[in-house]
Amino acid sequence: MATTELLRVEGLRLAVARTELEVVKNVSFSVAPGEIVGIVGESGSGKTLAARSIMALEPPAIRRTAGSIRFEGKDLARLPPGELRRLRGSRIGMVFQEPMTSLNPSMLIGRQLDEGLALHRDIDAKERRALILDMLRRVGIKDPEGALAAYPHQFSGGMRQRIMLASVMLLRPALLIADEPTTALDAVVQRDVLELMVELTREHGTAVLMISHDLSMVARYTDRIIVMCKGEIVEQGNTQDLLRHPRHPYTQKLLAAMPRRLPKRDLSTSVEPIVEVRGLVVEYRGRQGFFRKEPGKRALHGVSLAVRPREVVALVGGSGSGKTTLGRAIAGLLDPAGGEIRFAGRPVRRASESWANYRLNCQMVFQDPYSSLDPRMSIADIVREALRLVPEMAHREKVDRVREILHDVGLDDTFAGRYPHELSGGQRQRVAIARALVRRPAFVIADEPVSALDVTVRAQVLDLFADLQQRHGFSCLFISHDLGVVEQIADRVIVMQDGQIVEEGDRDTIFDQPQNPYTVKLLSAIPALEGTASGGVRLRWRFDDMPHSDVATA
């Protein structure tokens, strides 16, 4: 048995030091040479801790209380620190989540890549340089020579993750641990990087332990999946079997939480749009120094769109496409350089007569539930503040309205007096939604409202949002990079790239017959789901036969 297994984790238990709190409970799994295994779980499931303890990289506050970790037949727990260090990097490599911080910003790329090689390989500088250049070329860096003398900040997130991957694969480790390797990247870049990772590790026969919260992403690339929940492994098995016939209720819950297309809603299309944007131009000013002015950057090049009453319009695109800028401009947070915004048939401009009315009727839900609530205000105060400027409303009435909307978003009376830090991410986002809706606005802009949430929480919040949208009947501009979510919630989809709308149409048309190559690329990054009889799903990848460029897009 020992010869066929590269890594064997047996009965691993991790606890918070000095307490009885166990964060990883009796976890056992193995990885065969060359195998790609995914660990899936939500935040707090202990997946990252379990993977990090393989490299003895768990945080100091966590200690191992039981279990063994055998790698190539050696028990890592018994290894002296020196030997463990030799193993790190050379036999076990690791790719971290945040490409911004996992490369040292003050070190040249060339020196950073050289570090590991010089430490673990007994070859001279010239050979090392040749190896590094080869690897950089392999991961799709266009100018490898130039990259050696560049600093990390000169590269985009996707490029940085490629460089990170190159630095790890240079040493040809037997096992690669990838902790949420692409979570910080947008869908298209994410796919490019993952394809590259899988290709590279296949070439070198490297086994991969891929940790992620994104079940569909893991399902696409892994042979086997381990599902973790609250520190325990609830289910593990062959990827296809596990998806089609999930046995554990938690796995079923995870699968059920994956966004899927709902039947098309019937909206009368003849009515006048409630919000209309015509030729909107937004420019970011360049630096205005004492002596010189740098040119600004045009973020939106004349964008026009319309949202009809009760309609949910999704605005999708990769990072840098201008979708957030558009949302902020429509919300009045940015002053457009040109074009106009019309609400209910009348143009709105700051300080105009219709502005106050627009302000009351247009609200926004933001992405990050941790920074969108003032930490020094109670939940009830946060929601009630939205009613401060509503004319002719008695205090009593406001209090009642706040309680009512908190009930609507599924928060009972005990929440009113609490403070944001006492709430979970999902609960905070519910508060943010309550705050946006308490005025009964006619139009809501939601900027990535669920992308910071865990999978199952995201499903709940999305359901809640859809339900509230049905009941209150507000129109919505739903900004998202996640096409899965968009497929579930949108009536109409607008695709943006580089500050322009490249494609627009109703949901089914966009998802089934996309015209623009960029839309196709976005769509190929997410699976279409088909439910199976046993409560599982079958994933179908759209446009998989399309040639996928090897050069990064961002």
77 binds another protein (CB under 8 A): no
- Select from 63-71, 184-192, 309-317, 354-362 the region that touches another protein (CB under 8 A): 354-362
State the virtual CA torsion across 312, 317, 323, 327 in degrees, nearest 10.
Answer: 20
Q: Which is nearer to another protein, 377 or 502 (CB)?
A: 377
**72 touching another protein, by CB under 8 A:** no
430 near another protein (CB under 8 A): no
Phi, psi of 543 (to 5 degrees): 55, 35
Binding characters for another protein, 372-411, by CB under 8 A (x = yes): xxxxx--------xx-xx----------------------
Contact call for residue 360 and another protein (CB under 8 A):
yes
Residue 206 identity: T
Q: Based on the shown chain and the rule CB under 8 A, indicate whether residue 478 belongs to the binding site for another protein.
A: no
Q: Which is nearer to another protein, 104 or 371 (CB)?
A: 371
Tell me the window of 261-269, 274-282, 352-360, 491-499 that interacts with another protein (CB under 8 A). Answer: 352-360
What burial class does residue 260 get, using C-beta atoms within 10 Å of its C-beta: 0-12 exposed, 13-18 middle, 19+ buried?
A: middle
Q: What φ, ψ does residue 209 adopt, rounded to 5°?
A: -110, 105
Query: Considering the complex, what minimum distance in angstroms separates the CB of residue 320 from another protein?
Result: 19
| The three-state (H, E, C) secondary structure of 465-503, written as one string | HHHHHHHHCCEEEEEECCHHHHHHHCCEEEEEECCEEEE
Site string for another protein, 102-141 (x = CB under 8 A): ----------------------------------------
Q: Which is nearer to another protein, 21 or 262 (CB)?
A: 21
Q: How far is the CB of 466 from another protein (least distance, A)?
A: 22
CA dihedral 91, 94, 99, 100 (to 10 degrees): -90
Question: Looking at 122-266, which runs of residues are DSSP E strands?
Answer: 175-179, 207-212, 224-229, 232-238
Distance CA 167, CA 153 (A): 16
By the 8 A CB rule, do 209 and 176 touch? yes
Of the candidate spans 105-113, 336-344, 353-361, 402-410, the one that interacts with another protein by CB under 8 A turns out to be 353-361
Token digits of residue 323: 């979708």
Q: What is the DSSP string of 380-425?
A: HHHHHHTTTT-SS--HHHHHHHHHHHHHHTT--GGGTT--GGGS-H
| 435 in contact with another protein (CB under 8 A) | yes
Q: Which of 421, 533, 547, 551 binds another protein (CB under 8 A)?
A: 421
**Contact characters 295-334, another protein, x per CB under 8 A:** ---------------------------------x--xxx-
In the bound state with another protein, the residue whose beta carbon lies nearer, of 78 and 285, is 285
- Verify binding: residue 294, another protein, rule CB under 8 A: no
**67 or 420: CB nearest another protein:** 420
Using CB under 8 A, which of the segments 185-193, 370-378, 472-480, 509-517 binds another protein? 370-378
Tokens of 509: 């048309």
Q: How many residues bind another protein (CB under 8 A)?
A: 26
Q: Strand, coil or helix: what is 377?
A: coil
Q: What is each CA distance from 479 to 12, 333, 474, 495, 542, in whole angstroms? A: 42, 15, 16, 10, 22
CB of 519 to another protein, least distance (A): 29
- CA torsion sign for 243, 249, 250, 252 is positive
- Give the strand pairing for 62-71 and 74-75: antiparallel
430: Cβ contacts below 8 Å, ≥ 6 apart: 409, 410, 411, 461, 464
Using rule CB under 8 A, residue 56 touches another protein? no
Among 71, 366, 474, 478, the residue binding another protein under the rule CB under 8 A is 366
Which of the stretches 118-126, 309-317, 363-371, 545-553 binds another protein when contact is defined by CB under 8 A?
363-371
Closest CA to 442 of 341, 311, 270: 311
CB of 61 to another protein, least distance (A): 10
Q: Phi-psi category of 369—alpha, beta or left, where left has phi over 0 and alpha has psi -120 to 50?
A: alpha
Binding flag, residue 228, another protein (CB under 8 A): no
Amino acid at 533: A
Q: Check residue 344 for interaction with another protein (CB under 8 A).
A: no
Report if residue 364 touches another protein, rule: CB under 8 A: yes
CB of 315 to another protein, least distance (A): 17
The Cα–Cα gap between 113 and 138 comes to 14
Give the one residue of 363, 429, 475, 497 binding another protein; rule: CB under 8 A. Answer: 363
Q: Is 440 in the site for another protein (CB under 8 A)?
A: no
Q: Is 100 in the site for another protein (CB under 8 A)?
A: no
207-212 vs 492-497, strand pairing mode: unpaired
> Using CB under 8 A as the criterion, which residues of the chain lie in contact with another protein when the complex forms?
328, 331-333, 356, 359-360, 362-364, 366-368, 371-376, 385-386, 388-389, 421, 432, 435
